[in-house]
Amino acid sequence: MTHKKQHSLLNKASEACDMLSRHIKEEHVIRIVSHNDADGLSAAGLIAKAITEEGGQFHTTIVPRLKAEIVKELAHERYELFIFSDMGSACLDYINRLKADVIIADHHQPNETEKNDENSDNENTKSNINANVVHVNPHIFGINGTTEISGAGTSYLTVRDLGEGKKHLAPLALVGAFGDMQGQDGFIGVNKVIVEDGKEAGSLEIHEDLKIVSKTQEPLYKSLAYTFSPSLPGLTGDLEGSIGFLEKAGLSYGIKFSDLEDEEKDVLKDELLKLNPKIFGDVYSIPKENPILRNLEEYSSILDSCGKNKKTGLGLSIVLGERGEALDVAIKFQTTYREQLIKGMEWIKREGSTQLESIQYIYSDDKVLKSVMGTISSVGISVGLLVEDKPILSMARMHNDVKVSGRTTKNMVKKGVDLGKALHDSSLSFGGQGGGHDIAAGAMIPYKEMDNFLNLVNDMVEYQINAKAQ
Ligand SMILES: [Mn+2]
């Protein structure tokens, strides 16, 4: 069954590939529109790189969210082919009105226009999108787009058969997947097919290693403090904690990991395994890449920093192969972001969270803290700075509103917690809006209703847990 679903997705992607190939041959400039996160940047860069390799030309725009107005503006542009990557599936109604050819390479839930029966043999029988639109999306074929393939993944499948084949670009698809938190516990589904492609092309290597960051760039104590995934209790986000840990282990904290003797690396590995067994495992890398980008997770984190600093052009140029100064600038953004995370973790350590009966929350209107709240709240739970038996809401003030991001654990979901539902229903009651998944969700509510909102979410979570216990 799985095999058949994947086959249908690959077929749809090769239909898109034929369309792209035709436009490149006709020397049309291809219009790419993509998302501003690590996945979206990998997606756009991957397509652009494939087009360049085939001697074609492209024009790219990166946006935080695909709004109807953007699609309406695109309708006035004179292009023969539009490609939407890591976005588009939620905007089918408007995209459907474009007169030119369109490829959508997305992995988000599509809107109602194209909802196919996943068991249908011929998806065209139930589709009401126009013939000029090719929609490559795992959900249409009953494949989970949250866990099994990213936007960069669907983009990769779209260019996979171009020219002599593009399997050497497979690692970029996985960079995008890491950006969307898909590979951290190993790849599954279509992502696994992409892993095999990369291995076959010789552009991807997998070996077991310590999963700490910046092994060749930063002193060891920073490598430990900057490692957020997997997290290390007492070390993640804690520079002093990391120094103390290394001194106790008899290792010099100012040396880079890459300069350690083999025996010292073994000592470090043994000590880190005691804190989190996941710290040693499969590491995915591009063997011929610059050491700074060689590890796919770090590549992804660099693109993420470019996006967060609104330097999407920089991120894109790195995917397209620019190094040197471009990479230096991107690394500075990454360092700044890491320092912000450290500041956030120190804040959590100092202030903790505010407790209600069934939930906990943190609130800030500090500009830096606001930008890292979602990450520090979930890492705060995983390293034990915050209790894990209550969902956490991070509240960040935005003018007259509060942006809420909620996170909980798999264990709490098993106990009945559905944060998506709780945030959706509670925000509606106070004139806001929200929703998401059971384990992670978000909302926007009026600032003056914050306390009432928190109390209602608290009641709803309590109700969810009680209902499940009965
Ligand atoms: Mn994505």
- pLDDT tens digit string along 338-375? 999 999 999 999 999 999 999 999 999 898 998 899 88
Query: What's the CA-to-centroid distance between 237 and ligand 1, angstroms?
Result: 26
Q: Compute, in angstroms, the gap from residue 86 CA to the centroid of ligand 1.
A: 5
Domain that holds residue 172: 2-203
Place of tokens 């397509």: 47
Q: Are residues 101 and 70 in the same domain?
A: yes
**123 and 230 share one domain:** no
Tens digits of per-residue pLDDT, 187-236? 999 999 999 999 999 999 999 999 999 999 999 999 999 999 999 999 99
The answer, as to whether pTM is greater than 0.85, is: yes
- CA–CA–CA angle 125, 154, 210 (5° rounding): 145
CATH of the domain at 370: 3.10.310.40
Rounded Cα–Cα distance for residues 265 and 326 (Å): 32
Angle between helices 324-351 and 367-382 (to 10 degrees): 70
Residues 236 and 175 placed together within one structural domain of the fold: no
CA distances from 125 to 116, 140, 165 (A): 9, 13, 30
CA distances from 104 to 138, 395, 405 (A): 11, 34, 28
Q: Using the mean position of ligand 1's atoms as its centre, give its distance from the Cα of residue 317 in Å.
A: 19
C-alpha to C-alpha distance for 203 and 253, rounded to whole angstroms: 33
- The Å distance, Cα 35 to ligand 1 centre, comes to 8
Distance of CA 387 to the CA centre of its chain: 25
Between CA 88 and CA 74 the distance in angstroms is: 13
User: Rounded to whole angstroms, how far apart are CA atoms 39 and 223?
Assistant: 24
Q: Say whether both 358 and 402 belong to one domain.
A: yes
Assess whether pLDDT exceeds 90 at residue 3.
Answer: no
267-317 residue pLDDT tens: 999 999 999 999 999 999 999 999 999 999 999 999 999 998 899 999 999
Distance, CA 281 to ligand 1 centroid (Å)?
A: 24
Ligand 1 centre distance from Cα of residue 178 (Å): 10
Q: Which of 203, 230, 261 finishes a domain?
A: 203
Of the residues 326, 344, 362, the one at which a domain ends: 344
**What is the 459 CA–ligand 1 centroid distance (Å)?**
33
The 10 Å CB-count burial string (b at 16+, else e) for 366-397 is eeebbebbbbbbbbbbbbebbeeebbbbbbbe
Q: Do 243 and 367 fall within a single domain? A: no
Domain identity same for 164 and 97:
yes
For residues 129 and 150, state if they share a domain. Answer: yes
| Ligand 1 midpoint to CA 110 (Å) | 13
121 CA to middle of ligand 1, Å?
A: 27
Specify the pLDDT at position 32: 98
How many whole angstroms separate alpha carbon 65 and alpha carbon 71?
11
Distance 180 CA to ligand 1 centre (A): 6
Kindly state the DSSP code that residue 445 receives in the 8-state scheme.
Answer: E
Which pLDDT score, from 0 to 100, does residue 46 have? 98
Neighbours of 239 (CB within 10 A): 18
Report how many helices (DSSP H) and strands (DSSP E) the chain contains, helices first: 18, 13
Domain count, the chain: 3
CA of 43 to the centre of ligand 1 (A): 9
> What per-residue confidence (pLDDT) applies to 122?
42
Same domain as 212, residue 198: no
